[in-house]
Structure 1
């Protein structure tokens, strides 16, 4: 105790000094066919990197020197007037950043306490991707699909110790491990002239596998996620425009062959814009948020706004009615590989607001 205050030991102090230096040589090669149907790019950068790290609270010093070669190759092929194909491959190295190079514990938020009392992180990452795209401006139709795979090898394994109150202590240990990730994406958009409507749809699916120490037990963490997004923009008439957007996602995680509960969440938004006259504007909007984690996870919101423009003097009068349904609570819930978090927010009651904007 000093002057009535408790002095923490070195485990809760950070006096870090980090020096990073590099010398690099970069070059790039590009080939393009005469008919512009082929486009190839190759880069072969060579870098020498030096890292030195020390902390006044500890005698141990960390550092290393690395000569790294990080090639990248990409190819684009114009298959036809509307079809394009592409592929790429690359190798890169990631080393520790200052935000992950502290010896003592650091409180990130009210739930997570982190410490990286380990060698400087080194990650070797291979990345491969391929895709196909269709673009037809005449029909205003656009479609794309892609697949990517990445494999990472790391020298640090992260250990999570979860307390009964939900707090998490994260530490980094010197132990080789790897991460596999597969990603599938597809999307498209179409404009319908007769309906004056644009339809968009995008979907993605991801698979990931990695090692994790949880409460001192080594486990293989598997995650799967799916996301679907869509929107419709329609000009129904000269005085009415509408917009709808929706998002649906699922997330599943597990250890080894055992899966936890699948989490579903969705969001829907509908907006109507009315233009009864040139100087008047009315908008009505509704929102819905839902998730499968919470019994009270359904949230509804409705808002109304009206604007009148005066020509002389030039003024805009806006009257808005917010939270018409008087929703008093918003619940947001999510999870990661091994825990579930629910946050509840108290909302302001329904209110009417009038504003007047003018120019001199």
Structure 2
């Protein structure tokens, strides 16, 4: 697929805001944990030139294939890996890619996935109930729909889709299954859930099944913890989420990591020994402009949050070397252990 086709197939969300939030600089090293169609990746590589490097990760092998073609012109400045970001730290260790200046998570489905038609991500096209990011995964949406008990189905739809009609949907699925296609499931849901505004009745159920199939929320929580350990001093963590479940996890994580104490309210004295690792860059969430939403309606639910890595005096002597950035990363070699280190500026986090 040509770069031109790829550009038309996917419109990148909050592009300008993302580059600003990452504070992209020449010669910087960055990670795009959900490289998708490569829109953010291209902008990061262009903004960090000369000498910038990008590690792109995606669980979807089709996304990896097409994005490698799109980014081919950047040569050895970019490495694209087909893996899940839950393995973020292991991937970076394998490729000797630490510390980094910025890490991006864009948690939305790409237009390539939604328009693919054969993976079951969209309820607007007839397709098998699959919803796996990677076909090597063992469990599909059809497995969950056709093998779960009624209570398990109701729990999944209510918890991951925040669907108030979860019990009625689960009961109907049990009565009508086996269900094999998206169309069969959509027709069943449309008989139960009334339409409200622009939101399709099947939206929440499809979201719930996709999250369950791909363990999205659990993987996100694990990856965020790893991201903090990989960021160098003053490195940026940027996350774009698209529904409240993701956004709550990101918001709670960033707020927690920006506090020196996370003991329960009412605890007489601090016993948690928590070490502050982040500071909030923007207290208020960043959302798309009205102009962007008009141009790309799929961006309307996007929420961007950004935090910056700090170093606490308690961890200074353990992490000073690991948190220093190379003076010049350069693009000649993917692995260069002997680059000059910048002097680390130390801040005290109470």
Instruction: Indicate the TM-score class for this superposition, using the shorter chain for normalisation.
Output: under 0.3
Which has more helix, going by share of residues?
2
Which has more strand, going by share of residues?
1
* TM-score, scaled to structure 2: 0.20
* TM-score, scaled to structure 1: 0.19
